[in-house]
């Protein structure tokens, strides 16, 4: 069943990327919602081969809020100088996603001072680099971006800590890859939204990387 869901998700993602650039863009909201529903389906199906209910339910809740975030971003209609409310709501939804993912990882391996230290280094470093780029304008939402950057950085650091404390199965590998690609997709998306004259291919690349990330995280339920 999981292979069938993955197959349909791949088809839906290809169609989504295609209609991002082609006419009939009214199909894009439908395809984006369907593609996101499919990674939730992969997660639910994965629980049939796992007995870790806590891991499953926390990952599932994170994926559900990701779906909400995807839907909000569909309706983002901000101007060249500001972002709309849909963006803020989408960012909040994804922030809750990373809280659920982080709670999931903390339930497996406890919080340490190194988690906080490396979270600070990663988030501050990433934001500093983005702010230093010419033609990069946060359009008045930098404080929201900074808050989100801390949450996703912590989520990524905790995913790595799963491996460092001895959890080295395939599920942990999927989680780390998924968390890393999630950060990459958000960095790409930051260029799509905030970089003047962003190349058009970046929108499609963001979708590709984002859905691979979510698929990896959803699949990890089968192995944890």
* Integer Cα distance of 222 and 174 in angstroms: 10
pLDDT for res 188: 96
Give the chain's radius of gyration (CA, Å): 17
Please tell me whether residue 191 adopts helix, strand or coil conformation: helix
Give the per-residue pLDDT at 197.
85
Q: At 158, is the secondary structure helix, strand, or coil?
A: helix
Q: What is the pLDDT of residue 25?
A: 65
The number of helices, as runs of H, and strands, as runs of E, in the chain is: 8, 0
For the stretch 112-151, pLDDT in tens is 999 999 999 999 999 999 999 988 888 889 999 999 999 9
Q: Give the three-class secondary structure for 136.
A: strand
Distance between CA atoms of residues 108 and 188, nearest Å: 30
Whole-number pLDDT of residue 70: 95
Identify the pLDDT of residue 224.
Answer: 80
Determine the pLDDT at residue 81: 67
What is the per-residue pLDDT for 51?
79
166 DSSP assignment: T
DSSP 17-30: HHHHHSS-TTHHHH
Tens of pLDDT along the chain (224 residues)?
888 998 999 999 999 999 988 877 678 889 999 999 999 999 999 888 777 899 999 999 999 999 999 999 988 876 666 788 899 999 999 999 999 999 999 999 989 999 999 999 999 999 999 999 988 888 889 999 999 999 999 999 999 999 887 777 899 999 999 999 999 999 999 999 999 888 999 999 999 999 999 999 999 999 88
**Residue 1: its pLDDT value, please?**
81
Return the pLDDT at 32: 94
């Amino acid at each position: 069943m999981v292979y069938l869901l993955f197959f349909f998700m791949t088809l839906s993602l290809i169609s989504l990327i295609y209609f991002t650039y082609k006419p009939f863009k009214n199909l894009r909201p439908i395809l984006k919602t369907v593609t996101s529903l499919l990674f939730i389906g992969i997660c639910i199906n994965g629980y049939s081969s796992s007995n870790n209910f806590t891991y499953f339910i926390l990952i599932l809740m994170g994926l559900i809020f990701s779906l909400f975030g995807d839907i909000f971003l569909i309706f983002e209609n901000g101007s060249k100088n500001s972002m709309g409310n849909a963006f803020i709501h989408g960012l909040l939804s994804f922030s809750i996603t990373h809280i659920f993912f982080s709670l999931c990882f903390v339930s497996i391996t406890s919080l340490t001072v190194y988690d906080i230290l490396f979270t600070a280094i990663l988030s501050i470093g990433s934001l500093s680099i983005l702010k230093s780029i010419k033609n990069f304008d946060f359009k008045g939402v930098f404080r929201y971006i900074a808050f989100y950057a801390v949450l996703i950085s912590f989520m990524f650091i905790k995913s790595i800590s799963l491996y460092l404390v001895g959890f080295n199965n395939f599920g942990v590998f999927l989680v780390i890859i998924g968390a890393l690609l999630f950060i990459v997709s958000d960095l790409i998306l930051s260029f799509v939204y905030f970089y003047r004259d962003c190349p058009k291919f970046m929108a499609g690349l963001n979708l590709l990387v984002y859905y691979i990330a979510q698929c990896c995280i959803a699949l990890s339920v089968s192995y944890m």
